[in-house]
Amino acid sequence: MRVFNVLSRAVVSSIQTIQSYTLLSVRAVANIFSRPVYWREIVLQMDRIGVGSLTIVALTGFFTGAVMAIQSEGALRRYGAVGMTGQLVALTVIRELGPVLSALMLAGRIGAGIASELGSMVVSEQINAMRALGTDPIRRLVTPRILAMVLMLPVLTIVCDAIGMVGGWIIAVYKLLISSNQYWSDALNALQFSDLVGTLVKPVVFGFIIAMTGCYVGLSTTGGTEGVGRSTTRAVVSASIMVIVADFFLNNLLIYFAPLMNR
């Protein structure tokens, strides 16, 4: 009986969390289509997310592409196919690693920042003060962050993909002794329209998940300054897991619709 009570409370808590998360998401998205729109806050958040994360995304992309080229040598050399390194790097970086790793980097950097910032505002009663002054905190704080993340993560993913290809090219040319023409020709010929769609669609979904999770966890903070720390950790872990789960379902959808997009 005790086990049943624990399980029932866990199920009820999960349902309430999903309901609250969904309602907050709907309200935040609906605010995009009505006034006022805080453009200054949106631009500020885009600068923090885009420019502030450019270095870490570029480094992630470069070394990911370089490592993929190095690791592929052993497997491809067995079959005398080292010349296909460009194709392998292009498919793995652009289809999968670029979008996912960019999202995970931003989940750690931006998701944690959003949760800690909003959590601090909750415990210091700033959110209640905004409501008392007639300002909707969801419209003022949540919607700009979601918009900024959804707009900037695809751009950062493109940067990660491009620099990842350059990292693979450097290894291919100077370590594997593959000509530049062969590398880039194989890489570009391996890509299809569905791959380009996927590398742009995935970051949009991932960006929404990261920003929405950070905002939800931050606004749900309780327990003072210790609660802010717990919320920060919870936001990073939850967003990272949700990104990986969403990637699984998006991959299945893209594979299903790929024949239609590549006609």
- pTM, entire model: 0.91
Residue 57 inside a domain? The answer is yes
Residue 110 inside a domain? The answer is yes
Residue 87 inside a domain? The answer is yes
Residue 68 inside a domain? The answer is yes
26/18 Cα distance (integer angstroms): 12
Residue 239's alpha-carbon distances to 17, 112, 165, 214, in angstroms, are 14, 9, 27, 8
Residue 96 inside a domain? The answer is yes
Domain extent for 53: 36-261
φ and ψ at 185, to 5 degrees?
Answer: -65, -50
Count the domains in the chain. Answer: 1
Residue 25 inside a domain? The answer is no
Q: Which tens digits make up the pLDDT trace of 39-95? A: 899 999 999 888 888 999 999 999 999 998 888 877 777 777 777 888 888 889 998
Q: Which tens digits make up the pLDDT trace of 16-45? A: 888 888 898 998 889 888 888 888 999 999
Residue 216 inside a domain? The answer is yes
